[in-house]
């Protein structure tokens, strides 16, 4: 029976399509509603996976993952956006990641099918309400006793009006009935209106699931939709008002105001939705996953660089000729780390922060989708934790240094938590004086690097010597051809003073800054031997030795 209904439905859609072509009726242009970030993140918040270490808010902000997600989510409904967001936040296990990769590659190999599936999902973009909250959190409201028993109200209203001919006192009964109708309508208006928007989105979801399940060329990609297609179509019809009501002018308004039909239909819909939650959640997952796969395939067809990453669980990574997906003409760099990590140095404006973000977003993409923007990649399946954009807060009463200390504590706690990962840090402890900045940074980085993979960039070059036993020194520089390269070593020639002249500060300031720099450079920047400073020697003994000298 279900197979017959599916065939009949497919035939009906073909007839409608043929009529549209014959009558030149264009499809309604999809609308892409600007959903708030909290709406897009709702599925992740409601259905977290405790087995996966999710990215925290600071890392999400530091790696600019909102604009990256927006780049992936072009022409994607709220359902696909929520799935993409959840994958980015949590990543996928090896088995799920391999399955996503296979589906995406299949879509990339067949652009015709990719375009057809995108058209099938286009109507989802008309949804202007996120329904993950409805399906995964909201409890069913209790229905009042009178629901479904309001049909006598219009009869009583007409009878009371007719009774006015006999006695004017009948107006009192008319007023009572009218008051019941109007007060009930006013009480439920906002709730019913909100529910109608949710049902609009839910019925689009069911309709799309039904269409996808009835495709003749479904293949393995759409196999999960084949079985539930008839059930999705049936539930969609049950959630709709009767066709005659929708097609008759004024019928809906009359039934709503005089029989409270909208309120009765609301409670009927509540009963149906909460009675089929498991089925609806499965439809949500299937449609959202497919739409996310379509978005990834379309994105990768125009990606600046692409490889399917080799994932492992070790503290090592290798990215060959990697680029940042948000930079249209980014220069490729190669990064290879094994063990504790790296200390990154380089001149001002050379691209150290961009390098760190490039590594971070590639690690996130490999963990979430299985690919990297590189020629070749071998990366760990580990969460990423960053400290890159700490700032003071006027309203929170938190200075820059206090914000940096709080973030450092969070990184240390993560390293000791159930999901240790990779730490990416840019200019640690900028908010205090130089000596205390170096001291605090060396202590924190030494502990972090002993527990996991750490990448840190800093203009405090003395940290390279202090942390040499933990972090390999790497320098970003321009080669003879003007291309960026990452090589072993520490920056030899800084450009902070030279930039004073380039920015027009004048020779007087440049000369004074140069004299101070020369003195500090000889005094602090290149210590002769600091191997023992973090190797167990007490701070008091180190200070005593310094005083004797």
Whether residue 271 is found in the same domain as residue 176: yes
Query: How many domains are there within the chain?
Result: 2
Residue 326 burial (CB count, 10 A): 17
Whether residue 112 is found in the same domain as residue 249: yes
Residues 6+ apart with CB under 8 A from 449: 340, 341, 467, 470, 471
CA distance linking residue 284 with residue 9, whole number of Å:
21
Does a structural domain hold residue 391?
yes
Whether residue 292 is found in the same domain as residue 437: no
pTM of the full structure: 0.86
CA distance linking residue 241 with residue 268, whole number of Å:
11
Does a structural domain hold residue 504?
no
CA distance linking residue 43 with residue 339, whole number of Å:
36
Q: Which two tokens stand for residue 386?
A: 């960053």
Show the CA angle centred on residue 137, arms to residues 131 and 139, nearest 5°: 105
Does a structural domain hold residue 208?
yes
CA nearest neighbour of 140 among 47, 266, 281, 280: 266
- What's the pLDDT score for residue 549? 42
- What's the pLDDT score for residue 431? 81
Show the CA angle centred on residue 539, arms to residues 533 and 545, nearest 5°: 80
Domain edge (last residue) among 270, 300, 330 = 300
CA distance linking residue 209 with residue 201, whole number of Å:
13
Whether residue 312 is found in the same domain as residue 269: no
Whether residue 208 is found in the same domain as residue 338: no
Q: Report how far apart, in Å, the C-alpha atoms of 250 and of each of 148, 176, 210 are.
A: 21, 24, 30
Does a structural domain hold residue 547?
no
Does a structural domain hold residue 170?
yes
Whether residue 315 is found in the same domain as residue 295: no
Residue 394, judged by CB atoms within 10 A of its CB (0-12, 13-18, 19+), counts as exposed
- What's the pLDDT score for residue 215? 72
- What's the pLDDT score for residue 533? 66
- pLDDT tens for the 549 residues of the chain, in order: 455 555 555 566 556 555 544 444 455 566 677 899 999 999 999 999 998 999 999 999 999 999 999 999 989 999 999 999 999 999 999 999 999 999 999 999 999 999 999 999 999 999 999 999 999 998 989 999 999 888 888 888 888 888 888 888 878 888 888 899 899 999 999 999 999 999 999 999 999 998 888 775 556 777 778 778 889 989 999 999 888 877 788 888 888 888 899 999 999 999 999 999 999 999 999 999 999 999 999 999 998 889 999 998 788 899 999 999 999 888 899 999 987 799 999 888 888 999 999 999 999 999 999 999 999 999 999 999 999 977 655 556 678 888 889 999 999 999 999 999 999 999 888 888 878 888 899 999 999 999 999 999 998 888 998 999 999 999 998 887 878 888 888 887 777 777 777 777 877 787 877 777 777 666 555 555 665 666 654 444 444 444 344
Domain edge (last residue) among 257, 279, 300 = 300
Whether residue 227 is found in the same domain as residue 132: yes
Contact 302, 289 (CB under 8 A): no
Residues 6+ apart with CB under 8 A from 10: 214, 215, 216
Residue 252 burial (CB count, 10 A): 17
Domain edge (last residue) among 494, 513, 541 = 494
Whether residue 246 is found in the same domain as residue 341: no
Q: Which pLDDT tens digit goes with each residue over 10-56? A: 566 556 555 544 444 455 566 677 899 999 999 999 999 998 999 99
Q: Which two tokens stand for residue 286?
A: 């299937």
Q: Report how far apart, in Å, the C-alpha atoms of 306 and of each of 65, 181, 351 are.
A: 18, 62, 21
CA distance linking residue 85 with residue 81, whole number of Å:
6
- What's the pLDDT score for residue 295? 96
Whether residue 289 is found in the same domain as residue 403: no
- What's the pLDDT score for residue 485? 86
Contact 423, 410 (CB under 8 A): no
- What's the pLDDT score for residue 11? 61
Whether residue 54 is found in the same domain as residue 145: yes
> Which domain covers residue 384, as residue numbers?
307-494
Distant-in-sequence contacts of 221-229, Cβ < 8 A, 24+ apart: 221/103, 221/106, 221/107, 221/113, 221/290, 222/290, 224/286, 225/286, 228/279, 228/282, 228/283, 228/286, 229/2, 229/6, 229/9
Residue 181, judged by CB atoms within 10 A of its CB (0-12, 13-18, 19+), counts as buried
Whether residue 323 is found in the same domain as residue 274: no
- What's the pLDDT score for residue 541? 46
Q: Identify the CATH number of the domain in which residue 367 sits.
A: 3.40.50.300
Does a structural domain hold residue 546?
no
């Amino acid at each position: 029976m279900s197979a017959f209904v599916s065939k009949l439905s497919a035939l009906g859609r073909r007839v409608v399509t043929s009529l549209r072509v014959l009558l030149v009726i264009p499809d309604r242009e999809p609308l892409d509603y600007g959903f708030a970030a909290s709406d897009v993140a709702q599925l992740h918040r409601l259905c977290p996976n405790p087995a996966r270490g999710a990215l925290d808010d600071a890392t999400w902000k530091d790696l600019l993952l909102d604009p990256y997600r927006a780049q992936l989510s072009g022409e994607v409904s709220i359902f696909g956006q929520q799935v993409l967001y959840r994958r980015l936040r949590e990543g996928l296990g090896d088995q799920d990641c391999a399955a996503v990769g296979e589906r995406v590659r299949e879509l990339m190999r067949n652009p015709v099918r990719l375009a057809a599936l995108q058209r099938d999902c286009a109507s989802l973009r008309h949804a202007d309400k996120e329904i993950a909250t409805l399906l995964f959190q909201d409890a069913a409201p209790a229905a009042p006793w009178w629901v479904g028993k309001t049909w006598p109200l219009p009869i009583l209203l007409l009878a009371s009006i007719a009774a006015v001919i006999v006695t004017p006192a009948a107006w009192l009964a008319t007023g009572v009935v009218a008051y019941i109708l109007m007060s009930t309508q006013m009480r439920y208006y906002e709730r019913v209106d909100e529910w109608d928007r949710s049902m609009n989105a839910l019925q689009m979801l069911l309709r799309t699931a039904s269409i996808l399940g009835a495709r003749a060329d479904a293949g393995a990609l759409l196999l999960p939709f084949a079985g539930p297609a008839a059930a999705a179509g049936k539930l969609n019809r049950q959630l709709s008002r009767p066709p005659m009501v929708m097609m008759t002018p004024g019928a809906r308004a009359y039934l709503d105001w005089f029989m409270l039909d909208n309120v009765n239909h609301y409670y009927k819909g509540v009963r149906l939705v909460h009675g089929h939650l498991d089925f609806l959640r499965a439809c949500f997952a299937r449609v959202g996953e497919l739409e996310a796969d379509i978005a990834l395939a379309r994105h990768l067809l125009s990606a600046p660089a692409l490889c399917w990453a080799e994932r492992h669980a070790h503290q090592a990574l290798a990215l060959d000729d990697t680029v940042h997906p948000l930079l249209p003409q980014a220069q490729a760099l190669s990064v290879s780390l094994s063990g504790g990590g790296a200390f990154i140095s380089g001149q001002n404006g050379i691209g150290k922060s961009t390098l760190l973000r490039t590594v971070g977003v590639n690690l996130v993409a490999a963990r979430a989708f299985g690919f990297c923007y590189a020629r070749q990649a071998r990366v760990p399946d580990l969460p990423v934790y960053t400290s890159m954009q700490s700032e003071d807060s006027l309203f929170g009463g938190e200075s820059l240094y206090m914000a940096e200390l709080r973030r450092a504590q969070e990184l240390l706690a993560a390293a000791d938590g159930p999901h240790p990962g990779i730490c990416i840090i840019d200019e640690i402890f900028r908010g205090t004086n130089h000596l205390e900045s170096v001291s605090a940074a060396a202590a924190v980085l030494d502990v972090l690097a002993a527990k996991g993979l750490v990448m840190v960039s800093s203009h405090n070059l003395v940290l390279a010597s202090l942390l040499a036993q933990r972090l390999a020194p790497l320098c970003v520089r321009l080669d003879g051809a003007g291309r960026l390269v990452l090589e072993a070593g520490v920056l030899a020639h800084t450009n902070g003073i030279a930039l004073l002249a380039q920015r027009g500060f004048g020779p007087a300031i440049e000369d004074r800054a140069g004299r101070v720099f020369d003195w500090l450079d000889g005094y602090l920047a290149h210590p002769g031997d600091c191997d023992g400073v973090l190797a167990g020697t007490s701070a008091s003994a180190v200070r005593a030795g310094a005083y004797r000298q």
